[in-house]
Structure 1
């Protein structure tokens, strides 16, 4: 499949503070870009910016969902599935030429949230799309002389078994973005080169599977993974509840509760609430079906002159 006739389509993703708006502003030369933090802020019209690099038309579009640690995996998956569907990725007539993952080099060591979000992203992309990913580290200009500590931190994420190692070993590039226009355009040029070499955009694993399973998100690879994680968490919580119930403090003589009993009741209520939340998330995932647009419907990814990104 060839890429969009009106330009190279690039997804932009990154946690809060990674510099998405700054990157888009520097790359495009536009200084009045708006910030959109949630799916709701971009459901009416997709947030995009259009510019040129070496005479090639570039369309950069915000990819929602990964920059909010307060959202559950199901909520993130729902926003990504909606985004793919509403922008007409559903019938494969809109393909990403590349994806730029921005990561602040000032971030501390890898945590559980970063590992989980990266695993979720990998399952959405599929291995065939890894080679279209550019992991661009940002915030280098905020650092003082560090004796190579931060460069070592970047390398540490690539090393075998680390958070970026699988994507990197299968074609993803890891580059330093120096917060300049030339640096941003070099990243874009690499995506252009990869797209030209493979004659167009790449189909994401989730994009393909949503068509194959008629939009039932829980039946996709990433949906199954999120569902299994939820089931594992619920099993662990139910085991915790059994342990609590088997170790209930003995009632005290009189009407006053002991400190031990009060703490036990609070802990039990907390576990019950987490079980209820997990069960709600599981039901939400099982009911999640995206709207698949007809194959001949026009793309919804429009680029008004004054439309802004991220």
Structure 2
């Protein structure tokens, strides 16, 4: 019975949950879990745990889609690391390749890494490759993830050729015991045979990187088109935002002009009201004075007779209102007074 630790490599693009899985399974608090697309792993690191009396070592690897690390470099670095740490005869017990089930599309760099991984596996080692889907809890509905899972495996899907040759698809669970069971089951399959391992170590899979399959060319073109579309969309969004801001500024300026106009109108109204009040008070005072004169002359006429009244030129048969109007004129309009 081989009591040596079982080596399982954890691979995949950045942000697919490699660090989260290792931390869940091992309970190692040193494991930094990233919550964005920035890679939290830039080198190869082993994390050991015990399960059912066996030692299992998970090997954390850099994200295959990191801009500063090629898929060839990641795969070659993994092989060299295993040889240097455990000797030239040691083999991996398996590889678990993680994929975010929420991903809209397979990135070209991830697809290149996946095809490179297929080249690594010997014909008898695909059963030691687990394609694990992560972050099911982030889906709006499980049916969405199930459809994506089937799409990856059906003819023409990115995983179809791997599944046809024996790779297994697993949903990475959120509990430690269930996740450990998946990894523990991988060690039962025996050692993983790496095809052309010597050439890969010597050449760094240069030939593999140069011989680009047609689907990778399509993926590259799609990725470039997506970047161009994103850039164009960002420019359009900025232009739209500029137009919105300009319209908003125009509205604010119109509001300011209207406020100024309303303010000037209010001032004019207040001035008019003041003038009307002042003129009205003045006219009313003169009216009262005229009425007093009129009534005084009537009294004089009653006391001293017509002769005295005639000397004062007071009207004999004019009404009080007519007398006031003759002396003062009509009530003044403030709008016609300068």
Band the TM-score falls in, shorter-chain normalisation:
0.5 to 0.7
Bigger shift: 8-17 or 177-186? Answer: 177-186
* From 130, 133, 136, the counterpart of 1:134: 130
Matches within 5 A, 1:93-242: 93-146=89-142, 148-195=143-190, 201-210=191-200, 215-217=202-204, 222-229=205-212
Structure 2: runs of 5+ lacking an equivalent:
218-338
In 1, Cα distance between equivalents of 2:141 and 2:183: 28
Deviation of the 1:55 alpha carbon: 1.4
Contact 1:92 1:208 in 2 (8 A): no
Deviation of the 1:210 alpha carbon: 4.0
Deviation of the 1:86 alpha carbon: 4.0
TM value normalised by structure 2: 0.55
TM value normalised by structure 1: 0.60
C-alpha distance 38-93 of structure 1, shift in aligned 2 (>3 A) = farther
C-alpha distance 228-172 of structure 1, shift in aligned 2 (>3 A) = closer
Contact 2:12 2:63 in 1 (8 A): no
User: What's 1:58 paired with?
Assistant: 56
Stretches (4+) displaced over 4 A: 35-39
In 2, Cα distance between equivalents of 1:175 and 1:33: 23
In 2, Cα distance between equivalents of 1:151 and 1:53: 30
Contact 1:138 1:179 in 2 (8 A): no
C-alpha distance 49-81 of structure 1, shift in aligned 2 (>3 A) = same
Contact 1:92 1:203 in 2 (8 A): no
User: What's 1:286 paired with?
Assistant: none
Provide, for residues 85-113 of structure 1, a one-character-per-residue CA deviation record: whole Å limited to 9, x for no partner: 24316974120001111111111133434
Q: Which has the higher contact order (CA 8 A, sep 6+)?
A: 1
C-alpha distance 38-142 of structure 1, shift in aligned 2 (>3 A) = closer
In 2, Cα distance between equivalents of 1:119 and 1:161: 14
Matches within 5 A, 1:246-285: none
SS at match of 1:88: helix
User: What's 1:78 paired with?
Assistant: 73
SS at match of 1:87: helix
In 2, Cα distance between equivalents of 1:114 and 1:34: 22
